[in-house]
Structure 1
Amino acid sequence: MQEQSVARSSERQKRKAYSYNPLAQPFLKWAGGKRQLIPIIKKYIPRKYTQYYEPFVGAGAVLFSLQPAKKSIVINDTNSELINCYKTIRDNPEDLLNLCKQHESNNSKEYYYRLRGRDRQPGFEKLSSVERAARIIYLNKTCFNGLFRVNSQGQFNVPYGDYANPVVADPAVIKAVSTFLNQRSVTIDRGDFEDSVSKAKKGAFVYFDPPYHPISDTSSFTGYSINGFGEIEQKRLKSVCDELSDRGCHVLVSNSNAPFIRELYGDSRYEIVEVRASRSINSVGSKRGKIGELLIYNKYECKAF
């Protein structure tokens, strides 16, 4: 009994070793990022949950806003370069910062296109994880409008942004993110969203932020990954949400305010809430600003704010 008591005390102390750090925040610009919606999203988070899953983590705005104090945190994305950034920040933040600083000091249009072109040259796969992560972070912070987009061959193809004195990597942010990922023992996966939640148990909270269903024929943005996310994938996501609901998991989904999505989640187990989100990342200036989006959750008691 005494040994069990000591073990429980040690576990509590370990969890207390990390306190919420506002500097742990997104380290990339990201189309569809959720920073503007955080106060609203928090209203639909359960009071209690045992595990945290985010299968489409992106830049991690919700993850870093919550910084869940849970034994099990799992983040996932299909984007291999993005997941490499998370793992590199967790495992090797100092070397990453040093290389990002070099890129920042050499920043120019010519330097940008030379670095962007590395994934079109032989030997790209031999770059170290630090070299790959620093390259992606630099390209993201200096490309046009902060887009993350690849072509059908998986090659980064956003033009140069021509910003004055861009900050590529904030040391305080990178170190805070690294501390969070390590002290919370965050599992970082790359794979299919369905696989990533296969071990979610009753009481888990799963936040899905998939590529949005287009509200028009020209509005789709799935270029951050070479894998498209069309109607078939949206329907598969709904089926996964149903399965998680049957397991007793809490589910929250962000998506576009499209008739297809409203119809898809129109059954009685879900509530649909329309929200207005500010969007500053879009290749077309007229499409930036406040747009309608949906928050969809299975019916559980929500956190009061």
Structure 2
Amino acid sequence: MSAVTCVPEVLPKENASQRTWQRPFLKWAGGKYSLLPELDRLIPAGKRLIEPFVGGGSVFLNSDKHADFLLADVNPDLINLYQMLSVVPELVTHWARDFFDVLNNEGGFLACRDEFNSQHMAGPERAAAFLYLNRHCFNGLIRYNRGGQFNVGYGKYRAPYFPEKELKTFADMAHNCVFMNAGFRRTLLLAGEGDVVYCDPPYEPLPGTTGFTNYSAGGFSWDDQTALAECCVAAHQRGAKVVISNSTAPRVIELYEQHGFTLHHVSARRAISSKSSTRETATDIVAVL
């Protein structure tokens, strides 16, 4: 294994205020909007950016270093929304606007959730319903039960924001994107020379804590963390540049060190409940290969 350089200090932020960052149109647990200044300095330029865990899309939406994008996630509803916005953005926006206008109460929310879970909606309508549920459900959580049904409760927001401007920005970028409903193993097999890979997997919980790792039906295990590191090394050996975000769990640091990554510690603003007053600053790892 090659030697690792550990950079323990928090990266400076002196230029962060000089750029306006594009917000995603979805609420997304673990989204990287607050880390964009640091990530922008660490993610290198390349022809294509590959994200196996695209989530809310903060990183690719703010990329000016890449011409094309391969964006993947295991959540089929997320990828359906992105695909529908890439081909019929006006229709999805129209459906979503109707949902926001008519169903802004608990009864409307539950009715939409039931219809969504019935699997009877066509692609554009289902995409709009997913957006509606995301912006109206409790804390913007995306969670399914064992039967594959969306089961997050109503958020009781007085006037949820309709992200029309953000939807248009996304749709304008989508012609440069390929969206895949796929796991990281399949996605990373497509990475090679000229590609830049950014991985934002479910974070490994710190010792003594529990974390949200429901990346898929079986969760995201330590074996998955190990497999991800190995897949990234293989992609690097094929010519790709790789960047991974994760927690500072000791075994994560050890894993990345063993595989030759350069580690950077960055500060991250973490929302630990639904109240803005209970947000804290934590330290994340950004590993570069």
- Scaled to the shorter chain, the TM-score interval is 0.7 to 0.9
Equivalent residue number for residue 5 of structure 2: none
Residue 74 of structure 2 contacts residue 215 of structure 2 at CA under 8 Å; is this kept in 1? Answer: no
Instruction: Say if 2:170 is the partner of 1:174.
Output: no
Equivalent residue number for residue 286 of structure 2: 295
Equivalent residue number for residue 163 of structure 1: 157
Equivalent residue number for residue 139 of structure 1: 133
Residue 69 of structure 2 contacts residue 178 of structure 2 at CA under 8 Å; is this kept in 1? Answer: yes
Q: Aligned in 2, Cα 1:98/1:268: closer, same or farther, shift over 3 Å?
A: closer
% same residue: 34
Equivalent residue number for residue 59 of structure 1: 56
Deviates more, 1:195-204 or 1:76-85: 195-204
* Equivalent-residue separation in structure 2 for 1:237 and 1:287 (angstroms): 32
Displacement after TM superposition at 1:259 (Å): 1.1
Displacement after TM superposition at 1:282 (Å): 3.9
Q: Aligned in 2, Cα 1:148/1:216: closer, same or farther, shift over 3 Å?
A: farther
Matches within 5 A, 1:213-292: 213-216=204-207, 218-223=209-214, 225-267=216-258, 269-280=260-271, 282=273, 288-292=279-283
Instruction: Say if 2:84 is the partner of 1:101.
Output: no
CA RMSD for the aligned pairs? 2.1
* Equivalent-residue separation in structure 2 for 1:160 and 1:229 (angstroms): 26
Deviates more, 1:172-181 or 1:273-282: 273-282
DSSP-derived class of the 1:159 partner: coil
* Equivalent-residue separation in structure 2 for 1:263 and 1:76 (angstroms): 27
Displacement after TM superposition at 1:125 (Å): 2.7
Matches within 5 A, 1:108-127: 108-120=105-117, 124-127=118-121
* Equivalent-residue separation in structure 2 for 1:174 and 1:95 (angstroms): 12
Q: Which amino acid aligns with 1:280?
A: A
* Equivalent-residue separation in structure 1 for 2:276 and 2:22 (angstroms): 29
* Equivalent-residue separation in structure 1 for 2:76 and 2:274 (angstroms): 23
* Equivalent-residue separation in structure 2 for 1:286 and 1:216 (angstroms): 25
- TM-score under structure 2 normalisation? 0.86
Q: Aligned in 2, Cα 1:119/1:174: closer, same or farther, shift over 3 Å?
A: closer
Equivalent residue number for residue 79 of structure 1: 75
* Equivalent-residue separation in structure 2 for 1:24 and 1:92 (angstroms): 22
Residue 233 of structure 2 contacts residue 259 of structure 2 at CA under 8 Å; is this kept in 1? Answer: no
DSSP-derived class of the 1:126 partner: coil
Deviates more, 1:191-200 or 1:23-32: 23-32
Residue 192 of structure 2 contacts residue 236 of structure 2 at CA under 8 Å; is this kept in 1? Answer: no
DSSP-derived class of the 1:37 partner: helix
Deviates more, 1:29-38 or 1:273-282: 273-282
1:139-191: per-residue Cα shift (whole Å, max 9, x none)? 111111111122222211211111111123x2222122111111x2x111111
* Equivalent-residue separation in structure 2 for 1:261 and 1:179 (angstroms): 37
DSSP-derived class of the 2:28 partner: coil
Q: Aligned in 2, Cα 1:176/1:283: closer, same or farther, shift over 3 Å?
A: closer
Deviates more, 1:103-112 or 1:151-160: 151-160
Displacement after TM superposition at 1:278 (Å): 0.8
Deviates more, 1:102-111 or 1:263-272: 263-272
Displacement after TM superposition at 1:235 (Å): 0.6
Instruction: Say if 2:202 is the partner of 1:205.
Output: no
Equivalent residue number for residue 37 of structure 2: 39
DSSP-derived class of the 2:258 partner: coil
* Equivalent-residue separation in structure 2 for 1:187 and 1:278 (angstroms): 30
Displacement after TM superposition at 1:207 (Å): 0.3
Q: Which amino acid aligns with 2:173?
A: F
Displacement after TM superposition at 1:50 (Å): 2.8
Q: Aligned in 2, Cα 1:108/1:116: closer, same or farther, shift over 3 Å?
A: same
Equivalent residue number for residue 4 of structure 1: none
Unaligned runs of at least 5 residues, structure 1: 1-21, 299-305
DSSP-derived class of the 2:257 partner: coil
Equivalent residue number for residue 150 of structure 1: 144
Q: Aligned in 2, Cα 1:173/1:119: closer, same or farther, shift over 3 Å?
A: closer
- TM-score under structure 1 normalisation? 0.82
Q: Which amino acid aligns with 2:256?
A: Y
Q: Aligned in 2, Cα 1:241/1:79: closer, same or farther, shift over 3 Å?
A: same
Deviates more, 1:204-213 or 1:154-163: 154-163
* Equivalent-residue separation in structure 2 for 1:271 and 1:224 (angstroms): 25
DSSP-derived class of the 1:295 partner: strand
**Equivalent residue pairs, number:** 269
Displacement after TM superposition at 1:92 (Å): 1.1
1:43-74: per-residue Cα shift (whole Å, max 9, x none)? 1122x42321011000000000114442x420
